Amino acid sequence: MRTLIVSLLTGLALLAGAGAAHAVADPPAQIPADPAGDWRLSEVGGRVACTLTFTRQTSHGGFEVKAPLACRRAFPPLQGVVAWTQDDKGALTLTDAQAKPVIVFPGETNGALEAKAPDGRTWRLEPLPARAPSA
Rounded to whole angstroms, the Cα distance separating 103 from 108 reads 15
3-state secondary structure of 133: coil
pTM (two decimals):
0.72
Instruction: Name the residue among 86, 126, 80 with its Cα closest to residue 104.
Output: 86
Q: Tell me how far apart the alpha carbons of residues 115 and 124 are, in angstroms, rounded to a whole number.
A: 7
**Triad 67, 39, 111: Cα angle to 5°:** 135
* Secondary structure of residue 22 in the 3-state scheme: helix
pLDDT tens readout for residues 62-112: 999 999 999 999 999 999 999 999 988 889 999 999 999 999 999 766 567
CA dist., res. 43 & res. 122, Å (int): 6
Q: 83 and 95 in contact (C-beta within 8 Å)? A: yes
Task: Convert the pLDDT of each residue in 1-57 to its tens digit.
Answer: 545 444 544 444 444 444 444 444 444 455 667 789 999 999 999 999 999 999 999
